[in-house]
Amino acid sequence: MAKIGVINSYEDKMSSSECSSCPSCPSCPSCQVNPTFHSFMYLGTHEGVKLYMSMLARANDTTKESGKKLADFKHHLDPLKGQKWIWILDCGNMEKRHHSSLDYTKGLAKVLASEHETTLLGMWIIRPTVWMRTTIACIKPFFKSNLVSKIHFVEGEALGLYIRLEQMGLKGRPLQWIGSAVSLPPTAPLPPLGL
């Protein structure tokens, strides 16, 4: 797996249209009502590449209808159009209630392929579950081939995960934050992003 460069810095300020984390997301009405509705956190940048993370076991989106669910989540994705970014998805501690429908996942794949194909530089799926691997296999036909090549499964817990992410080029505070956050149960408060 190729390194993407070293990601080791945080930006102190973001534009007002940018999500910093769901508890303060200015663009998502669902997160304004319920701060734990989505999990989509801004971790920092390096060389113009923004780093976002979703901890799927921490999201409390119980919307069943896939069209509304996708429209809600697009509030997080739309501000990223035209910007280079990497999405880290943490599957650790996921339960059946956190699983999305295949229709929603296909819709999300189509949005990423049509609106973020050249700007989404990677999707790192850490601590992948059997459900996530199966879902990705089922939706691959809906991704454009170069988008599929950006999906990387990163196995491991705690130290093993930390080492693998470091080998991929992740360093500094984002790596330290992820190392701390993934060791917590989903009900525990997350460490501050400034760690």
Q: Is 116 part of any domain?
A: yes
In a domain, 163, yes or no: yes
> Which positions ≥6 away from 30 have C-beta within 8 Å?
37, 38, 61, 72, 75
Q: What is the pTM of this model?
A: 0.82
Mean pLDDT score of the chain, rounded to an integer? 79
Closest CA to 72 of 117, 22, 119: 22
User: How many folded domains does the chain comprise?
Assistant: 1
Which region among 33-42, 72-81, 124-133, 165-174 has the lowest average model confidence (pLDDT)? 33-42
Is the confidence at residue 158, as pLDDT, over 80? yes
Within-domain flag for 191: no
Of these ranges, 16-25, 32-41, 137-146, the one predicted with the greatest mean pLDDT is: 137-146
The verdict on residue 188 lying in a domain is no
Residue range 151-166: mean pLDDT, rounded: 93
pLDDT computed for residue 194 by the predictor: 66
User: Is 189 inside a domain boundary?
Assistant: no
Q: What is the number of alpha carbons within 13 Å of residue 84 lying toward its C-beta?
A: 7
Most confidently predicted of 68-72, 87-91, 105-109, 141-145? 87-91
**Inter-residue contact 79 to 27 (CB < 8 Å):** yes
For 34-73, how does the pLDDT look when each residue is reduced to its tens digit (9 = 90+)?
666 667 788 887 667 899 998 888 877 767 676 777 887 8
Residue at 147 is within a domain: yes
**pLDDT band (50, 70, 90) for residue 128:** very high
Residue 3 within any structural domain of the chain: no
Q: What is the pLDDT of residue 22?
A: 43
User: The domain spanning residue 65 has which CATH number?
Assistant: 3.40.525.10
Decide which of 146 and 10 is more confident: 146
Q: pLDDT higher for 184 or 14?
A: 184
Question: Which domain does 47 fall in, by range?
Answer: 41-181
Q: Say if 177 falls within a structural domain.
A: yes
Q: How far apart are CA 189 and CA 101, in angstroms?
A: 27
Instruction: Answer yes or no: is pLDDT of 33 > 70.
Output: no
Q: Give the Cα separation of 12 and 14 in Å (integer).
A: 7
